[in-house]
Protein backbone atom coordinates (compact mmCIF):
# COMPACT_ATOMS: atom_id res chain seq x y z
CA UNK A 1 0.00 0.00 0.00
CA UNK A 2 2.88 2.37 0.72
CA UNK A 3 5.12 1.46 -2.22
CA UNK A 4 4.21 4.24 -4.65
CA UNK A 5 4.07 6.87 -1.92
CA UNK A 6 7.53 5.88 -0.68
CA UNK A 7 8.97 5.89 -4.19
CA UNK A 8 7.46 9.29 -5.00
CA UNK A 9 8.92 10.79 -1.84
CA UNK A 10 12.31 9.20 -2.49
CA UNK A 11 12.31 10.32 -6.13
CA UNK A 12 11.38 13.92 -5.29
CA UNK A 13 13.80 14.28 -2.39
CA UNK A 14 16.63 12.69 -4.38
CA UNK A 15 16.01 15.05 -7.30
CA UNK A 16 16.40 18.05 -4.99
CA UNK A 17 19.47 16.55 -3.33
CA UNK A 18 21.07 15.79 -6.70
CA UNK A 19 20.62 19.35 -7.97
CA UNK A 20 21.93 20.74 -4.68
CA UNK A 21 25.01 18.54 -4.93
CA UNK A 22 25.67 19.54 -8.54
CA UNK A 23 25.50 23.22 -7.63
CA UNK A 24 27.78 22.79 -4.61
CA UNK A 25 30.25 20.74 -6.65
CA UNK A 26 30.21 23.39 -9.37
CA UNK A 27 30.91 26.13 -6.83
CA UNK A 28 33.78 24.16 -5.30
CA UNK A 29 35.31 23.50 -8.72
CA UNK A 30 35.35 27.24 -9.43
CA UNK A 31 36.78 28.12 -6.03
CA UNK A 32 33.61 29.87 -4.88
CA UNK A 33 33.43 29.66 -1.09
CA UNK A 34 30.08 31.38 -0.58
CA UNK A 35 26.80 29.78 0.41
CA UNK A 36 24.73 27.82 -2.11
CA UNK A 37 21.15 27.98 -0.87
CA UNK A 38 17.64 26.96 -1.75
CA UNK A 39 14.59 29.14 -1.21
CA UNK A 40 11.16 28.78 0.34
CA UNK A 41 9.68 27.97 -3.10
CA UNK A 42 8.86 24.47 -1.95
CA UNK A 43 5.93 22.17 -2.62
CA UNK A 44 3.05 22.91 -0.21
CA UNK A 45 3.07 20.36 2.60
CA UNK A 46 6.39 18.93 1.46
CA UNK A 47 8.82 21.57 2.70
CA UNK A 48 10.63 19.45 5.30
CA UNK A 49 11.38 16.70 2.79
CA UNK A 50 12.68 19.13 0.17
CA UNK A 51 14.71 21.10 2.71
CA UNK A 52 16.21 17.80 3.88
CA UNK A 53 17.15 17.06 0.27
CA UNK A 54 18.95 20.41 0.03
CA UNK A 55 20.90 19.68 3.19
CA UNK A 56 21.87 16.17 2.11
CA UNK A 57 23.04 17.57 -1.23
CA UNK A 58 25.32 20.09 0.47
CA UNK A 59 23.24 23.24 0.07
CA UNK A 60 22.00 25.63 2.73
CA UNK A 61 18.28 25.47 3.49
CA UNK A 62 17.97 29.28 3.74
CA UNK A 63 14.85 30.01 5.82
CA UNK A 64 13.22 26.87 7.14
CA UNK A 65 10.01 28.83 7.71
CA UNK A 66 8.78 32.37 8.22
CA UNK A 67 9.87 32.41 11.87
CA UNK A 68 13.59 31.90 11.24
CA UNK A 69 14.30 35.18 9.42
CA UNK A 70 12.40 38.26 8.28
CA UNK A 71 12.35 38.64 4.51
CA UNK A 72 11.12 42.04 3.33
CA UNK A 73 9.98 41.87 -0.28
CA UNK A 74 8.58 44.53 -2.59
CA UNK A 75 5.01 44.26 -1.25
CA UNK A 76 6.17 44.81 2.33
CA UNK A 77 8.15 47.86 1.24
CA UNK A 78 5.27 49.32 -0.80
CA UNK A 79 2.84 48.69 2.06
CA UNK A 80 4.97 50.62 4.54
CA UNK A 81 6.09 53.37 2.18
CA UNK A 82 9.85 52.76 2.10
CA UNK A 83 12.63 50.29 2.80
CA UNK A 84 13.56 52.25 5.93
CA UNK A 85 10.02 52.08 7.30
CA UNK A 86 9.78 48.37 6.53
CA UNK A 87 13.07 47.53 8.26
CA UNK A 88 12.30 49.60 11.34
CA UNK A 89 8.79 48.14 11.61
CA UNK A 90 10.15 44.59 11.31
CA UNK A 91 12.92 45.22 13.84
CA UNK A 92 10.43 46.52 16.38
CA UNK A 93 8.72 43.11 16.52
CA UNK A 94 11.56 40.76 15.54
CA UNK A 95 13.90 41.84 18.33
CA UNK A 96 17.67 41.54 18.26
CA UNK A 97 17.91 37.79 17.64
CA UNK A 98 16.25 37.48 14.23
CA UNK A 99 18.01 38.64 11.07
CA UNK A 100 16.31 40.89 8.57
CA UNK A 101 16.85 40.51 4.84
CA UNK A 102 15.66 43.05 2.27
CA UNK A 103 14.95 42.38 -1.39
CA UNK A 104 16.59 45.18 -3.37
CA UNK A 105 15.97 46.17 -6.96
CA UNK A 106 18.93 48.56 -7.21
CA UNK A 107 22.23 49.43 -5.58
CA UNK A 108 20.62 52.48 -3.95
CA UNK A 109 17.96 50.23 -2.43
CA UNK A 110 20.76 48.20 -0.86
CA UNK A 111 22.36 51.29 0.69
CA UNK A 112 19.03 52.36 2.18
CA UNK A 113 18.47 48.86 3.59
CA UNK A 114 21.95 48.79 5.14
CA UNK A 115 21.54 52.25 6.67
CA UNK A 116 18.19 51.15 8.11
CA UNK A 117 19.81 48.16 9.82
CA UNK A 118 19.30 45.20 7.48
CA UNK A 119 21.57 42.20 8.06
CA UNK A 120 21.33 40.83 4.50
CA UNK A 121 20.58 42.52 1.19
CA UNK A 122 19.25 40.45 -1.67
CA UNK A 123 20.14 41.80 -5.09
CA UNK A 124 17.18 40.50 -7.05
CA UNK A 125 17.06 39.87 -10.81
CA UNK A 126 20.35 41.62 -11.60
CA UNK A 127 22.33 40.61 -14.65
CA UNK A 128 25.60 38.85 -13.78
CA UNK A 129 27.70 41.92 -14.69
CA UNK A 130 25.45 44.30 -12.76
CA UNK A 131 25.40 41.89 -9.82
CA UNK A 132 29.18 41.69 -9.57
CA UNK A 133 29.58 45.45 -10.01
CA UNK A 134 26.95 46.31 -7.38
CA UNK A 135 28.23 43.72 -4.89
CA UNK A 136 31.78 45.06 -5.19
CA UNK A 137 30.61 48.65 -4.66
CA UNK A 138 28.49 47.71 -1.64
CA UNK A 139 31.27 45.73 0.01
CA UNK A 140 33.73 48.60 -0.53
CA UNK A 141 31.32 51.13 0.96
CA UNK A 142 30.54 48.85 3.91
CA UNK A 143 34.25 48.59 4.70
CA UNK A 144 34.63 52.36 4.64
CA UNK A 145 31.59 52.90 6.90
CA UNK A 146 32.26 49.95 9.21
CA UNK A 147 29.01 48.18 8.32
CA UNK A 148 28.73 44.42 8.25
CA UNK A 149 26.27 43.00 5.75
CA UNK A 150 25.80 39.86 3.68
CA UNK A 151 24.96 40.08 -0.01
CA UNK A 152 22.68 37.50 -1.61
CA UNK A 153 22.22 37.01 -5.33
CA UNK A 154 18.83 35.70 -6.37
CA UNK A 155 16.26 35.77 -9.14
CA UNK A 156 16.16 33.33 -12.03
CA UNK A 157 19.63 31.89 -11.46
CA UNK A 158 20.02 28.39 -12.91
CA UNK A 159 22.69 25.69 -13.03
CA UNK A 160 23.77 27.06 -16.41
CA UNK A 161 24.09 30.71 -15.33
CA UNK A 162 25.31 30.09 -11.77
CA UNK A 163 29.06 30.37 -12.60
CA UNK A 164 28.50 33.96 -13.77
CA UNK A 165 27.38 34.93 -10.25
CA UNK A 166 30.13 33.16 -8.30
CA UNK A 167 32.32 36.10 -7.36
CA UNK A 168 33.99 37.02 -4.05
CA UNK A 169 31.66 39.94 -3.34
CA UNK A 170 28.58 37.71 -3.32
CA UNK A 171 28.15 35.81 -0.05
CA UNK A 172 25.05 33.76 -0.91
CA UNK A 173 23.51 32.53 -4.15
CA UNK A 174 19.96 31.24 -3.77
CA UNK A 175 18.12 29.08 -6.28
CA UNK A 176 14.37 28.69 -6.61
CA UNK A 177 15.22 26.10 -9.25
CA UNK A 178 16.61 23.83 -6.54
CA UNK A 179 13.01 22.78 -5.92
CA UNK A 180 11.01 24.21 -8.85
CA UNK A 181 10.85 22.00 -11.93
CA UNK A 182 13.59 19.77 -10.58
CA UNK A 183 13.70 16.36 -12.32
CA UNK A 184 12.92 13.41 -10.10
CA UNK A 185 15.30 10.47 -9.75
CA UNK A 186 13.64 7.35 -11.13
CA UNK A 187 13.51 4.49 -8.63
CA UNK A 188 11.79 1.14 -8.68
CA UNK A 189 11.00 -1.19 -5.82
CA UNK A 190 11.04 -4.93 -6.40
CA UNK A 191 9.68 -7.56 -4.07
CA UNK A 192 12.30 -10.21 -3.27
CA UNK A 193 11.10 -13.62 -4.42
CA UNK A 194 12.62 -17.07 -4.87
CA UNK A 195 13.63 -17.69 -8.49
CA UNK A 196 15.60 -20.81 -7.73
CA UNK A 197 18.80 -19.03 -8.75
CA UNK A 198 21.71 -18.58 -6.31
CA UNK A 199 21.96 -15.08 -4.84
CA UNK A 200 24.93 -13.42 -3.11
CA UNK A 201 24.57 -12.55 0.54
CA UNK A 202 25.99 -9.43 2.14
CA UNK A 203 29.41 -11.03 2.45
CA UNK A 204 29.61 -11.77 -1.25
CA UNK A 205 29.22 -15.52 -0.64
CA UNK A 206 26.78 -17.39 -2.83
CA UNK A 207 23.86 -18.84 -0.90
CA UNK A 208 21.83 -21.78 -2.28
**CB hemisphere CA count around 107 (13 angstroms):** 14
Note if 51 is an active site residue: no
Is residue 80 within 8 Å of residue 89, measured between CB atoms?
Answer: yes
- Spatial distance between the Cα atoms of 190 and 152, rounded to a whole number of angstroms: 44
* Number of C-beta neighbours around residue 198 at 10 A: 8
List 41, 88, 99, 139, catalytic entry: 41
SS3 helix, strand, coil % of the chain, rounded to 5? 45, 15, 40
Beta strands in the chain (DSSP E): 35-37, 70-72, 100-104, 120-124, 150-154, 172-174, 199-200, 206-207
**CA 47 from centroid of its chain's CA atoms:** 13
Catalytic residue positions, numbered: 41
Amino acid sequence: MGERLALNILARCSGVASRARRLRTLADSLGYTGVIAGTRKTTPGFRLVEKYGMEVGGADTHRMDLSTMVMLKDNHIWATGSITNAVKSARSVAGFSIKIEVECQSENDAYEAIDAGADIVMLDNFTPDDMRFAASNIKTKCLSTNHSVLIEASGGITEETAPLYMSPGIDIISFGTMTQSVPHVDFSLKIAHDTGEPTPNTNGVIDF
